Amino acid sequence: MDMPVASQGRVDVRDLHIRFHTKGQEVEAVRAANVHVRPGEFVSLIGPSGCGKSTLLNAVAGFIEPSDGQVLLDGQRVTGPGSDRGVVFQQYSLFPWMTVRANVEFGLRMKGVSASERQAQARTLLGLAGLLSFENHYPDQLSGGMKQRVGIVRALATSPQVLLMDEPFGALDSQTRVVMQEILTNMWQRLRISVLFITHDIEEAVFLSDRIYVMTARPGRIKAELDVPLPRPRTPAMTSAPEFAAMVRQIKGLIREESIAAMGGELSEGGLAGLCTEVGPQGVGHLV
């Protein structure tokens, strides 16, 4: 299956450092990170909680200014938010007083697109996401998965060069999440837009991505860059492939090391052994 080839949407994160100052102390969130997304590529960032994944994505979105280093989009330095980057968050960030189609049209209206053209573009994208029959519904009439599909379509409506997704399926149940992954990969294969995707779900990252960056515990650095050895288009059957299982095991090993490190002195390899201690009916008093 031939797919469109993108010519724009290259993201270059070069030697990125991000530090925050809170209560008189400096907190280093990201250290010397280098991440690259080629035009039309789907790239995921994965790592332990609090490692700086979302912070890095927010720097690409232009919401956070780097302390050091650069974020470039098609060779131009990112200095703030822009319509060339669409952002989808875990929360359903829809306007509750607007219909589904009005939500999708919002960015186009802000750009001065005519009403007829806004409607045509919105209906085309809603059709692609399987939501055209809900165009006149309001967000509170939709399921969680449908709301997130509307959020994705709204982000795509202004024709961004890059789609930035911060754990967009994190609030969904496991069954809906799997279906949303299939919908997203099918939409991506039709549009072939550059995507930078944040997730905690290893299987999700492998299924969706061309490449995966694994981050360390805070301060977040790039620990590994992995190519996903699965062909396009992706299908659910591929999750049973030996290559899929092998990559999941590899990433789980990398993440486990960093998750333990992220917990610091609270947990160690020796501490994990203590979780197997037999307590018995007499309770924990006899262990103290």
Both tokens of 270, joined, read 């020796």
Q: What is the pLDDT of residue 275?
A: 56
Mean per-residue pLDDT for 146-167? 93
Q: What's the whole-number mean pLDDT along residues 162-183?
A: 90
212 φ, ψ (degrees, to nearest 5): -130, 130
In this prediction, residue 233 carries a pLDDT of 92
Per-residue pLDDT tens over the stretch 72-97: 999 999 999 998 999 998 877 899 99
The token pair that represents 183 in the structure block: 């919908």
* Identity of residue 41: E
At residue 259 the predicted structure's pLDDT band, cuts being 50, 70 and 90, is confident
CA distance 251 to 203: 9
Assign 223 a pLDDT band (cuts: 50, 70, 90).
Answer: very high
Token pair of 285, please?
């008093």
0.85 surpassed by pTM: yes
Give the separation between CA 71 and CA 36, rounded to whole angstroms. 10
For residues 91 and 88, give the distance between their C-alpha atoms in angstroms, rounded to a whole number: 8
Predicted local confidence at residue 1, as pLDDT: 44
CA distance 189 to 201: 21
Residue of higher predicted confidence among 269 and 59: 59
- Give the sheet arrangement for strand 162-166, strand by strand: 85-88, 162-166, 194-198, 42-46, 211-215, 222-227
